[in-house]
């Protein structure tokens, strides 16, 4: 059997400890599959003496993770620190500069610095692998980069954040408000004390920018991702979605349209018959559309100790086998700078909910405004009658340009009869 692949692990949090678990528990199996042992030589973490419940007796402790990344007795460095700057970035840059391959689960680092890091990896002849950075245990990076290499990809759509998917699932199941379910998710450990990174869509946007690069051969362009979170989704919207034959999901989506690249993250009405609508709880899923293969759908756990560590180990196995492919599917010099398609130019149907005073002429005023902005109504729901009191008015509008509907709703919101800002959720078809 060949010489061991010597591994340095920076970070002993949830993910790092999961990696240790697998290396300890499946050492023999991995050696058989790789043709060489995977040997954890050194680890680095903030507290050397903390009890972590895993066996670290076979490796030494390095207080400085950057020093670990320079060690001559390390072949590959796992970065499990997190964050787009600071120690995580220094570890990856140092390891690559010293001729070591890197495995990371750090989507923020890749979204902000992925092209520079990939360039350095190519220059130094090493691998930069990141299967665990998107959708946890789902092998979507390898699928896009290798499994679907024969296809010109047309579209990527995904549920990429388990926290948001759990919240929306529980809101539908219980009828509770966003705030109530968020508090429950925090108590269960599914949401952070500060949940903004997840619920405001930033985490999904980081992941989407990576998938876009892999799918379309473009340089990562995180700044062009349109981002909306789920804070404004209300229980009443979830109930109306169900009545209309949909389920609300936070989706990250990317498409190439007339030579431009559309990247958007926002809540969507997804038809109940579509597989993405059935993905519940903390699970993630990705739907890829290729010109020869058609639709490919992958679902699995998107985060957590086991799934994320599993993806990291898969990257280690590739490195141990000597497999090295371009970081973003093609060499960095051949990545294109795609022209962004702004959300204002998106065309599609929408759900709109208004709270209006129930007075004569209100509906006529609103439909006139919509018509002036070239927006037509497919379905309208208004129940009950309460003169001079606010009632809910729900509309589904036909396909229209996003900017047209936005202008119409801004004008409608200024009517005296409209008592709160309109709610608009885009409807997706697959």
Q: How would DSSP label each residue in 188-252?
A: HTSS-SS-HHHHTSHHHHHHHHHHHHHHHTB---GGG-EE--STT--HHHHHHHHHHTEEEEEEE
- Residue 203 banded pLDDT, cuts 50, 70, 90: very high
| Strand-pair category, 260-271 with 423-427 | parallel
256 SS3 class: strand
pLDDT band at residue 337, thresholds of 50, 70 and 90?
Answer: confident
Which of helix, strand or coil describes residue 9? Answer: strand
Query: Does the pLDDT at position 106 exceed 90?
Result: yes
Measure the CA angle with vertex 420, ends 418 and 426; round to 5°.
100
CATH code, 5-133? 3.40.50.720
Residues in CB range of 42: below 8 A, 6 or more apart: 8, 9, 59, 60, 61, 62, 68, 71, 73, 74
State the Cα–Cα distance between residues 268 and 252, nearest whole angstrom.
10
**Inter-CA distances, 403 with 219, 339, 353, 408, 428, Å:** 27, 19, 17, 9, 17
Q: Give the residue-averaged pLDDT of 319-342.
A: 93
Please state which CATH class domain 345-427 belongs to. alpha beta
Residue 389 has pLDDT above 70, yes or no: yes
Six-digit token string for 7: 């591994």
Bridge pairing between strands 101-104 and 377-381: unpaired
Cα four-point dihedral sign 391, 392, 395, 401 = positive
**pTM of the predicted model, to two decimals?**
0.94
Q: Give the CA radius of gyration of the chain.
A: 24
What percentage of residues in the chain have a pLDDT greater than 90?
83
Strands 153-159 and 283-290: antiparallel
H helices of 332-419, where?
362-372, 402-413
Residue indicated by tokens 């959720």: 425
| Extents of the domains making up the chain | 5-133, 140-301, 345-427
User: Nearest-CA neighbor of 420 among 360, 363, 356, 364?
Assistant: 356
* pLDDT value, residue 384: 65
Asked if 61 and 16 count as a contact pair (C-beta separation under 8 A), the reply is: no
- Confidence label for 388 from pLDDT (cuts 50, 70 and 90): low
Residue 1 pLDDT greater than 70, yes or no: no
* Dist. CA 227–CA 266, nearest whole Å: 6
Contact, 343 vs 264, CB < 8 A? yes
Please name which of 42, 219, 16 lies closest in space to residue 117, comparing C-alpha atoms: 219
Q: So what's the pLDDT on residue 269?
A: 98
| Closest among 410, 342, 339 to 370, alpha carbons compared | 410
225 neighbors 209 (Cβ within 8 angstroms)? yes
Helix, strand, coil percent values for the chain (each to nearest 5) = 40, 25, 35
Please tell me the predicted confidence (pLDDT) of residue 360.
Answer: 82
pLDDT tens for 53-101 read 788 888 899 999 999 999 999 999 999 999 989 999 999 999 999 999 9
Specify whether domain 140-301 bears CATH 3.90.550.10: no
Average pLDDT over residues 180-208: 93
pLDDT tens column, 8-56 = 999 999 899 999 999 999 989 999 999 999 999 999 988 777 777 788 8
Where does residue 186 fall: left (phi above 0), alpha (psi -120 to 50 degrees), or beta otherwise? Answer: alpha
Q: Are 40 and 9 in contact (CB under 8 A)?
A: yes
Instruction: Please list the active-site residues.
Output: 207
């Amino acid at each position: 059997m060949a010489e061991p692949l010597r591994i340095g692990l920076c970070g002993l949090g949830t993910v790092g400890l999961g990696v240790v678990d697998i290396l300890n528990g499946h050492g023999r199996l991995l050696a058989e599959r790789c043709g060489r042992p995977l040997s954890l030589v050194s680890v680095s973490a903030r507290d050397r003496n903390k009890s972590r419940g895993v066996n670290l007796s076979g490796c030494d402790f390095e207080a400085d993770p950057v020093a670990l990344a320079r060690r001559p007795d390390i072949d590959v460095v796992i970065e499990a620190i997190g964050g787009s700057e600071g120690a995580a970035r220094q570890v990856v840059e140092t390891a690559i500069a010293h001729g070591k391959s890197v495995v990371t689960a750090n989507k923020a680092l890749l979204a902000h610095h992925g092209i520079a890091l990939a360039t350095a990896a190519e220059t130094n002849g090493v691998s930069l692998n990141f299967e665990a950075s998107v959708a946890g245990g789902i092998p979507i990076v390898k699928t896009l980069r290798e499994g679907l290499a024969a296809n010109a990809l047309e579209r990527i759509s995904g549920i990429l954040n388990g926290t948001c998917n759990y919240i929306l699932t529980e809101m539908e199941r219980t009828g509770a408000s966003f705030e109530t379910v968020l508090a429950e998710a925090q108590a269960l450990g599914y949401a952070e004390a500060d949940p903004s990174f997840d619920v405001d869509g930033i985490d999904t946007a980081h992941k989407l920018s990576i998938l876009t690069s892999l799918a379309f051969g473009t340089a990562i362009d995180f700044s062009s991702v349109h981002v909306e979170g789920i804070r404004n989704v209300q229980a009443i919207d979830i109930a109306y979605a169900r009545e209309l034959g949909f389920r609300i999901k936070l989706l990250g989506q990317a498409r190439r349209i007339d030579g431009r690249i559309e990247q958007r993250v926002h809540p969507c009405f997804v038809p109940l018959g579509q597989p993405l609508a059935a993905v519940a709880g903390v699970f993630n899923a990705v739907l890829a559309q290729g010109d020869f293969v058609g639709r490919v759908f992958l679902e699995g756990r998107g985060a957590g100790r086991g799934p994320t560590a599993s993806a990291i180990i898969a990257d280690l196995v590739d490195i141990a086998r000597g497999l090295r492919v371009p970081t973003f599917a093609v060499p960095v010099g051949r990545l294109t700078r795609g022209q962004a398609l702004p959300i204002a130019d998106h065309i599609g149907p929408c759900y709109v909910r208004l709270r209006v005073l129930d007075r004569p002429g209100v509906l006529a005023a609103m439909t006139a405004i919509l018509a002036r902005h070239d927006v037509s109504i497919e379905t309208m729901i208004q129940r009950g009658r309460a003169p001079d009191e606010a009632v809910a008015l729900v509309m589904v509008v036909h396909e229209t340009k996003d900017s047209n509907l936005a202008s119409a709703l801004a004008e409608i919101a200024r009517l005296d009869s409209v008592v709160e800002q309109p709610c608009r959720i885009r409807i997706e078809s697959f």
